[in-house]
Amino acid sequence: MKTIGLIGGMSWESSKVYYKLINERVKELLGGTHSCKSIMISVDFNEIERLTFENKWDEIGEMMAACAQQLEQAGADIILLCTNTIHMVSDAITQSVTIPFLHIAEATGQEISSQKLKKVALLGTKFTMEKDFYTGILKKRYGLEVVIPREEDRQIVHDLIYNELVLGKFTTASKEKCKRIIGQLVIEGAEGVILGCTELPLLIPSQELDVPSFDTSKIHAYKGVEWALDG
């Protein structure tokens, strides 16, 4: 088994989900008392959040590069960044280490393609929905048509992520807002929905939706385990 390196803390709510997912998956595949060999570097999300809203992505990239280097030096064989939005600086990570980096949009694109879907909705922070670091991979490498909510609804999702979900607050009211937004995108032709924030699947159970939902954290974590076991 190879060792998975995790860059966490964005938020720690999502990091604990990643740790749980990768270990449950290893136990499922190998049985017995098996667990995943992993190393996590966790950052202070308050600092990342401040730099994000100040649009200081170069500084965030430097921080992520430093984390990646720490993981490589500690013996990690592959790196997973336990967040969607901060993949905006994934180039800073790949350029700073010699070990593989598994991009969350790559893992998600592979999973959607395996289900033969062509048009999918994307929910996440405004950065994830509006920038091309995420949608660009889905469109160019996997031929997917990606639809996002209208501007007003994008702001609703963005605000509830930063004001509620990253703080561990999950309310019925916020869930219903997201379900309404997803429902509108389905009316517009979406065949499935990407829950492109690591906390969103905690808010919106897949069984409450009328179309397939893609839990990016779970997909990403499982792909990491697949790599760790198969090399």
What is the C-alpha to C-alpha distance for residues 190 and 212, in angstroms, rounded to an integer?
Answer: 10
Rounded average pLDDT over 154-160: 96
What pLDDT is attached to residue 18?
94
The answer to whether residue 197 is catalytic is yes
Token digits for 154? 């994008």
What pLDDT is attached to residue 11?
83
CATH code at 4-103+219-230? 3.40.50.1860
- Pairing between β-strand 213-215 and β-strand 78-81 as defined by DSSP bridges: unpaired
Catalytic residue among 67, 82, 83, 178: 83
What pLDDT is attached to residue 51?
96
Q: Which CATH number fits domain 105-215: 3.40.190.10, 3.30.360.10, 3.40.50.300, 3.40.50.1860?
A: 3.40.50.1860
Report angle CA 113, 104, 69 to the nearest 5 degrees. Answer: 145
Rounded average pLDDT over 147-158: 96
What pLDDT is attached to residue 112?
96
For residue 231, pLDDT beyond 80: no
The answer to whether residue 83 is catalytic is yes
Report angle CA 195, 223, 93 to the nearest 5 degrees. Answer: 85
In terms of phi and psi (left: phi > 0; alpha: psi -120 to 50; beta: otherwise), the region of 113 is alpha
Catalytic residue among 67, 82, 178, 197: 197
Q: Which letter does DSSP use for residue 208 in this model? A: G
* Element spanning 40, H or E: strand 38-42
Q: Which letter does DSSP use for residue 101 in this model? A: B
For residue 12, pLDDT beyond 90: no
Token digits for 97? 């280490």
What pLDDT is attached to residue 14?
84
Our CA dihedral for 207, 213, 216, 220, rounded to 10 degrees, sits at 90
Give the residue extent of every domain in the chain: 4-103+219-230, 105-215
* Strand partners of residue 83: none
What pLDDT is attached to residue 168?
86
Give the predicted TM-score (pTM) of the model: 0.91
Helices 104-114 and 216-230 pack at an angle, to 10 degrees, of 100
Would 4-103+219-230 and 105-215 be classified into the same CATH topology? Answer: yes
Token digits for 181? 């937004």
- pLDDT tens digits along 160-206: 999 999 888 999 999 999 999 999 999 999 999 999 998 899 899 88
Rounded average pLDDT over 131-160: 94
- pLDDT tens digits along 51-80: 999 999 999 999 999 999 999 999 999 999
